[in-house]
Structure 1
Amino acid sequence: MALWISCDCGENNDKWIVAAPGDRDKKVIILSSKAECISLMFNRIPIRFNLDPLKLRILCLRNNEFDESLIVEEIKNSSSLTYLDLSGNNLKGIPEELCSLVKLEYLDLSENQFGETEVPPSFGNLINLKFLYLKSGIGSVRIPAGVMSSLKALQVIDLRSFLRKCTQFLYRELGTLSQLKALGILVRDLAQFESLGEADSLPVRYLAPNDVCALTRILSMDFARRTLYEVDINELDINEEFDTREITVVQHDTEQPNNHFGALNKLSLTFMRSLREIKWMGATPAFIFQRLTYLELFLCQQLLHLSWVMYLPRLELLHIISCDGMVQAFMRCHGDKLCNGQDKTKTFPRLKLLVLIYTKSLETIGDNGMKFPSLERLELEGSLALKRLPFWSDSLPPKLKEVRFDDARCWERLECEESVKTILQPYLNFGRRYQG
């Protein structure tokens, strides 16, 4: 229906072209010369281009693994493009041809295979660019002086990739952009972190520490001349560069209402294979992470439990993936110690989605009788040792809509009240959903 409306109620059916990831029966996608907006995400299907470069305004080729030469040849003359998403393809660098698309307002080049490359000096020609994403990917990228200061319309820029030299000149240039509202940055070493702290005007929103000293300074709330509660960080990514067995979160002032992570809504811990424990000194997790809504853990294979998250006031999404050290994910005996006056019967007050995937040692999610008042979906895949769910017949999540297993045998092996199984039966779904 949306496509029909967008195509002038069916009068111009080739105006918008959308191929969903499930369109696997197609052998080739033919793009019409009438197309103004094209979305072909996650397809990896051969494409036959027949575009009118003056009509095309929106092009999304996310995660198709297309070759750089194919992409560049077809879009280099598309002078009307305002939105271009080439993330997750096989670009080896930033093509010079993109710099001639001066009407671009949105450009995503994340998750590509850049290798050792440099942003073309002519990239500064994209004077209408408002959103620029250069997140992750493989390799390192250098940004020449003068490029960023030319992008006067820039509002959001995510540089959480391996910038070869993210020096203070870059911070100074970004600081001259009066429209800039959000900056994502990967901090490679302590010196870079300290330089970032001196850039008083930068609106840092997404931070990825890649150095253990920088991480320690962040979690100790020491941000050079700025304190972290003056930097409204929305996302914090802590990744595989750290070979540490424990993380200590320190809060010196337990009565400061605008705590240091007051704006943080997403926290990711990824590839921290040695991490066993997260310790808390000072205030409670609920005090420090007052607005955290999304917590993700991926390949933290030695982590023993996550009991500290039970009383986070706004947590809605919790993904635990390939954390093989957990036998029980949540334990009241540990979590209650960090409760600090809260009602201990009110666990997970806003949690809507709980995902536990490939947690090979997991036998039980939590203690019987734990409350999940807002839980809508529980997804359990590859958890072959799972024996128990934390539900009694009188404590089932009242808003539950789905319980997903990848294998019916996992459900059959569960040891729980027969009445619980009977009540849960209508919500069961089998088959894999996770595609990470």
Structure 2
Amino acid sequence: MDLFIKLSQFLLSLSLLIILHELGHFIPAKLFKTRVEKFYLFFDVKFSLLKKTIGGTEYGIGWLPLGGYVKISGMIDESMDKEQMALPPQPWEFRSKPAWQRLIIMLGGVTVNFILAFIIYIGMAFTYGDTYVAMSDLKDGLLIENPVLQKAGFQTGDNILAVDGEKITKFDNEINMKIIMGKKVLIERNGAEQTITMPNDFIDQLSKVEKGSLVSIRMPFVIGAVAPESENTALQPKDLILTLNGQKVKYFDEAKTILDNNKNKTITATVLRDQKEVPVPLKISAEGKIGVQVGGLGMDSLEKLGYYKVSKQEYGFLESIPVGIQKGKDQLVGYGKQLQMIFNPDTGAYKQVGGFKAIFDIFPSTWSWEVFWTITALLSIMLGVMNLLPIPALDGGHVLFLLYEMLSGKKPSDKFLENAQMVGFVLLISLLLFANGNDIYKAIIGR
């Protein structure tokens, strides 16, 4: 069932993005009276699953879910229809249209991708608002257990003040990505500020350790369940550990240190149970364990216990517009930085490039519209940026040649465009093989 939910979200998001991207080409082509021969979701190599011809255009669904396409008459594309291109140009063909019309047709797909992302972010701001903990309310700093961050100089209890000069005021889902993409992080430790310079190969180092959050909120020690073989049967689920061996315990990371220092001993713990403080004897194993699973508390419970103040900001429809636009801009700039790191071999970020499995894996195994739209908006930005790369066979390659034509007044020959398309196609296949090969390699080595 979990796999079905992940797959459903993956296919729905992918289908939505492909259809809207291709509509971005289809609509201006129709407006400029350019014939569109095919409009396909997924590729119909050899055969299609469904197809129907309406108004001279064949609409269909292919069997290979690696993308989609519109086939526009008189355009050199992945179909490499040389026979059509050898015939005299017809007024309904792409090649017969003015350069500015052809440019609009080619930019239509990525334009829709970017507009879609901004619309989603605006809608999410209006529907969900913002839920966060202000960094100023994290009086005891953050939990930092990632060994790569620790090696870079971070410690539990540090508070993040700024990344590359951008002030961090909220603890939310974006903070980890900002640290990953950052070069200099300003922290506060024991009341003093200091700057940590991130290692150039930080992403490569991260790939070699277990995945998880880089920084997180420090949580209390709550008993989730007591193992059947545990000697500490006096403990109960939902017990909140307040003291261990007479030492006050506010956070779970503090408890781990005390337990490690009292291996093979029996100590007394104080737990909060049903609003009462209860003393409980604890037998600690040679490994510093007490035979329990750690539980969690929701943000509402943490707020009631006085740990954190959770801020909820709601937006009216008009208010949500600039908020969503800013969110979209931040994601666009962030993805641009990611591409820069990928194309810089020193960072090792290229090793983390993934294909369809990597995209599939980011969808959760439980259905959440908020998560679904968040991922879809990000993928829409990624699709738009990738299609703008000046590679022949991508929209950006066509745009590059059209801009050359408009500036120089000279149109590249069909032969040149055919050769460029072939080079671009080989390059794209190589990138696909590399990305999906990375997925296979990481699956084999277990990372």
Q: TM-score, length-normalised on structure 2?
A: 0.19
Larger radius of gyration: 2
Q: TM-score, length-normalised on structure 1?
A: 0.19
